[in-house]
Structure 1
Amino acid sequence: MLHFIKKGGLGAAFIRKLAATSEGTRTIMNKKDSTISCSDLKTVMAKGSLQIFDVRTEAEVEMGTIPNSINIPVDEIEAALKRDDADFKQKYKINKPKLEDNIVFYCQMGRRGARSTDIAQSLGYKNAHNLAGGFQEWSAKEEQ
């Protein structure tokens, strides 16, 4: 089980149920809240069952990234997610996420990631999440 941080109350952690898909990966079931903690992101990353999007600027990306993340600045997220599959793959060199895929957005501290998550959810992405604390928290935990 994964522990997520409730949107709007960063100290209120709770357990999320997971369900295995036919491919053996796990899908986040509770879609009410949209924030994932660094430790839970690492758990999901180990299973390889998600796509991670860095919504920071190029200058911020040069300072470091989360492994296997793809940079799409926040101002481009909506247009990117509206692209057809072939155009998305040509531009970003990865398959466009499906509406039911687990996707995580992150920025430096969390605001742009939350905005990107909201955009994705408004476009029908059911399992879109924002990394709590963003890259700042991720890099601090990596240094420990």
Structure 2
Amino acid sequence: MFTTRFAAFASPRLFRLPCRFIQFEKTPQTVTTQQSTTNFPKRNFSSKMAEDKVVLYDDVLTYKDRKDVLLIDVRDPHELQETGQIPASINIPLADLSNVLQNTSAADFQSKYGRELPDKNANLVFSCKMGGRANKGMEAALKLGFTNAKFYKGSWLEWSTKQQS
């Protein structure tokens, strides 16, 4: 246990907060916080990027010509009209992604996107404008059981910059 003191102006009271006790002492008007040193397991936050799931610019250069890799841009259609998209990528907005991957028939997917409906072992690479939504798209696909889902960390901004230079 460790104790921290903070200055406060309060009457003597004892409050119980989750894993924390706060005691107000009348003289010399301080707040004493006692916290237990219980070790809780570290959380694995999904917003952190797993290095083995990150695809780089040079990888995408080769993927755009391969039929065994499906590049999915998860931006909204109006964003694509403003900026463009990576060649050979298809557009499935992030809000629709789970529904499309789960509930679309093979024939409907083929007619709408011009590609075969991916199976659970397909190589999927997600992109967006800067990489954040691409990471979320990859996480959604992984939750649906797609084992080879990855995301392009640099996404459209890196792609367009490197294509112009």
With the shorter chain as reference, the TM-score category is 0.7 to 0.9
Measure how far apart 1:95 and its partner are: 1.3
Structure ranking higher on relative contact order (CA contacts 8 Å, 6+ apart): 1
Runs of 4+ aligned residues of structure 1 deviating over 6 Å after TM superposition are: none
Distance 1:40 1:140, change over 3 A: same
Contact 2:65 / 2:88 at 8 angstroms: preserved in 1? no
Normalized against structure 1, the TM-score is what?
0.73
Contact 2:64 / 2:71 at 8 angstroms: preserved in 1? no
Measure the CA separation in 2 of the matches of 1:87 and 1:79. 13
- The Cα offsets for residues 41-67 of structure 1, whole Å up to 9 and x where unpaired, read as 112334443111111111210121101
Q: How does 1:50-69 map to 2 (within 5 A)?
A: 50-62=69-81, 63-69=83-89
Letter in 2 for 1:102: N
The answer for unaligned runs of 5 or more in structure 2 is 1-46
Letter in 2 for 1:68: A
- The Cα offsets for residues 105-137 of structure 1, whole Å up to 9 and x where unpaired, read as 100001111000001111111111111111011
Q: Which is greater in Rg?
A: 2
Measure the CA separation in 2 of the matches of 1:103 and 1:114. 12
Measure the CA separation in 2 of the matches of 1:81 and 1:9. 22
More deviation, 84-93/61-70: 84-93
Measure the CA separation in 2 of the matches of 1:64 and 1:92. 16
Partner residue, 1:38: 57
Measure the CA separation in 1 of the matches of 2:100 and 2:67. 22
RMSD: 2.0
Partner residue, 1:78: 98
Normalized against structure 2, the TM-score is what?
0.64
Partner residue, 1:19: none
Measure how far apart 1:9 and its partner are: 6.5
Measure the CA separation in 2 of the matches of 1:37 and 1:79. 27
Partner residue, 1:135: 156
Determine helix, strand or coil for the equivalent of 2:121.
Answer: coil
Identity over aligned pairs, percent = 33
- The Cα offsets for residues 77-120 of structure 1, whole Å up to 9 and x where unpaired, read as 00000023233234333211111111111000011110000011
Contact 2:64 / 2:89 at 8 angstroms: preserved in 1? no
Distance 1:138 1:47, change over 3 A: same
Contact 2:54 / 2:151 at 8 angstroms: preserved in 1? yes
Determine helix, strand or coil for the equivalent of 2:117.
Answer: coil
Determine helix, strand or coil for the equivalent of 2:59.
Answer: helix
